[in-house]
Amino acid sequence: MKPIDFHLHRPTTLAEAIALLAEHGDDAKVLAGGQSLLPLLNFRLARPEHVVDLGRLTTLRTTRRTTDGLTLGAMVTYARAEASRAVAEDAPLLAAALPFVAHKPVRARGTVGGSIAHGDPAAELPAVIRALDAVMVAAGPRGVRRIPAAEFFVGNLVTALEVDEILTGIDVARPARGTGAAFTEVGRRQGDFALVGAGAQVTVADGVVVDVRIALTGIAGVPHRATEAETLLTGVPPADLDLDAAADATRAVIAPSGDLHATADYRRDVAGVLLGRVVATAVERATGHAHRAA
């Protein structure tokens, strides 16, 4: 199908883009990479009168290293982020997740900010951003807001962004030395949205796990951070990690829904299995040693 007729705006400055959103409010939709919005327009599931394309806002396409981490421009494409050394070094969990997003042609256009603003609980980036406690920077007619990830993802495809706000960047804190990360997922076909995905970023210092962040996709209405498992794993020497207990702790608190593709029980079980695997691999990468089951 084809979209309904709409007015396309291609502003060249952020101020212009914000003014357009302020003017058109609910009748306007922001366009980033279009890899979610264009399908919605084509199916007429979205029927905005005005579409504000951020494609010409080149300032949103930069990745900047700061003293304590990384500022990713919202319009940085998945492909650019995947190729970035700064992302690999400062946000290893994000780097590990990127190759699992869709297929290459979608990653060529889709943006980091678009995925986060879309807020799909089955998507890789929102879950990873949640686990990393990243901060979303949003600009609107009332100024700039910094929104912590814990408050950003509100519901299925619902975020804390107001209709007249633009996500301009994402701040990710640089992890300490001795950090490793891993991501994996189970899906019907490679490149499709996964049934369940899991990612972990682990920091080991002085022989114990001092920081662990676990992201799960596809098992709740919002991206899930497995704090229940993180608590069990923190402060423990890598060789003594009880991954089965961590997996069971997560299985006990999540309530995935079942559908045509997989039952709720299957999703719950797989989430635990993947959690164990990514933590083991992340520990291995953090320490340079294979994780031995306790």
Ligand X SMILES: Cc1cc2nc3c(=O)[nH]c(=O)nc-3n(C[C@H](O)[C@H](O)[C@H](O)COP(=O)(O)OP(=O)(O)OC[C@H]3O[C@@H](n4cnc5c(N)ncnc54)[C@H](O)[C@@H]3O)c2cc1C
In the chain, the amino acid numbered 148 is: P
Q: What is the DSSP letter of 103?
A: -
Q: State which residue, 109 or 174, has the beta carbon closest to other proteins.
A: 109
Position 216 contacts ligand X (CB under 6 A): no
Position 237 contacts other proteins (CB under 8 A): no
Taking CB under 6 A as the criterion, the residue among 17, 18, 37, 220 binding ligand X is 37
Taking CB under 6 A as the criterion, the residue among 136, 166, 170, 254 binding ligand X is 166
Nearest approach, Cβ of 176 to ligand X (angstroms)?
28
- Report what 105 binds from ligand X, other proteins, none; CB cut-off 5-8 Å by kind: other proteins
**Secondary structure E strands in the chain:** 7-9, 28-31, 50-53, 63-66, 69-73, 135-140, 143-148, 153-155, 158-159, 166-173, 179-186, 196-205, 208-217, 224-225
Site for other proteins in 64-103 (CB under 8 A): 79, 102-103
Position 187 contacts other proteins (CB under 8 A): no
Beta pairing partners, 69: 66, 173
Q: Please, which residues have CB within 8 angstroms of residue 268's CB and are 6 or more apart in sequence?
A: 219, 251, 254, 256
Q: How far apart are the C-alpha atoms of 9 and 31, rounded to whole Å? A: 10
DSSP string for 156-188: TTEES--TT-EEEEEEEEPPPSSEEEEEEEE-S
Site for ligand X in 54-113 (CB under 6 A): 54, 74, 101-102, 106, 110-111, 113
Position 61 contacts other proteins (CB under 8 A): no
Position 261 contacts other proteins (CB under 8 A): no
Summarize as ranges the residues that interact with other proteins (CB under 8 A): 1-10, 31, 34-35, 38-39, 41-43, 51, 53, 55, 79, 102-106, 108-109, 190-191
Summarize as ranges the residues that interact with ligand X (CB under 6 A): 29-37, 39, 54, 74, 101-102, 106, 110-111, 113-115, 117-118, 123-125, 161, 166-167, 193
